[in-house]
Amino acid sequence: MIYLDYQATTPLAPTALKAMLPWLEQGHANPHSPHRAGRQARAAVEVARDQVAALLPAGGRVVFTSGATEALNWAIKGASGGIVTTAIEHAAILDTAQATGRPLTVLPVNGEGLVEPQPVADGTGLVAAMLVNNEVGTIQPVAALADLAHRSGAWMLCDAVQGYGRIAIPETVDLIAVSAHKIYGPKGIGALWIRDGITLPPLLHGGDQEGGRSGTLSPALCAGFGAAARLMATQAERDADHVERLWSLAVERLGPDWTINGSTERRYHGNLNVRRDGLDVARLMSDCRDIAFSAGSACASGSGRPSHVLTALGLTEREAKSSIRLGFGRYTSEVELTDAIDRINTAARAQGR
């Protein structure tokens, strides 16, 4: 299997697995217990917290959650007033914002997949936007959105799930959601960074173990998250160079029959979303079943609807449904990517015969 679905999830880094194993094999103590074993587990959690925080702005605290979806729910439901977001956000933002019943403004994006910052209406309590879009990889002007939010007294929530450790997060945001399994860490853990001075009412009640968030933490998951974050910091330049080489190879190898969806400049280049006229994506995926790639967001797969992100860019339903997403990163080899693209091209051309 050639794995090209890094936006859905990344492979677990061996370093992260190694950090987790002692806590899975022997370190079973509750990190919230006062005895020696509990304190040892708690120490591992705090080391991990510092490692995760090292890739985030200063002047805030990291609260571990079950994942980015919980973090985003907590931030959105904990804010007050109206909500402003963009048309290409993840369902964890769009669905949660709608569920609050509060006034909601959804900003459009242009054909490049970029939002145009605009003044925030009075009464807005929260502006929420992705740093890097999960479907097309475009990088949003989060700093400009934060400036406009603050002028109206609103908080700025940054969904940094796809950008954490890869793209600089503006220092001026107020809340940041991140996830371990998008940075070569384990599934089942994420975090919400909360700027000092901001207090959110609890989303979960029943113990307050995290100071605003209830629930027993897993030292193993925390340790894996921390190790993955530390590796993102130490390998940042190497990872970035590798991704740029893979992007150039992929674009050249695909050739002129494919059109890139979204901006090619203001974009994380580990995400390549492309379309081909008349492509039957379901047939392509069947013909290339030993290549893992996506027809859109994994969270919306099977819905039968065209991607809301691609239609927001102005693509027709047919164009959106003839698009695929190739995601690659640290553990993708150039040989694998070349082989996969050649086979995808062969299968796609065969559809026109």
Nearest CA to 315 among 129, 85, 113, 133?
113
> Judging by DSSP bridges, how do beta strands 60-65 and 2-3 pair with one another?
unpaired
DSSP letter string, 122-168:
TTEEEEEEESB-TTT-BBP-HHHHHHHHHHTT-EEEEE-TTTTTTSP
CB 260, CB 274: distance < 8 Å: yes
SS3 at position 210: coil
Tokens 């693509």 label which residue? 315
> Judging by DSSP bridges, how do beta strands 190-195 and 60-65 pair with one another?
antiparallel
DSSP 257: T
CA angle 90, 93, 97 (to 5 degrees): 145
Nearest CA to 192 among 313, 86, 79?
79
SS3 at position 263: coil
104-132: b or e for each residue (b if 16 or more CB lie within 10 Å)?
eeebebeebbbbebeebeeebbbbbbbbb
Distance of CA 180 to the CA centre of its chain: 9
Helices 236-254 and 334-350, packing angle to 10 deg: 30
**CA max distance for the chain:** 70
Question: Which of these is catalytic: 158, 222, 288, 299?
Answer: 299
Q: Is the dihedral of CA 331, 285, 137, 97 positive or negative?
A: negative
CA distances from 238 to 76, 202, 244 (A): 35, 39, 10
Judge whether 288 counts as a catalytic residue.
Answer: no
Q: Give the active site residues.
A: 299
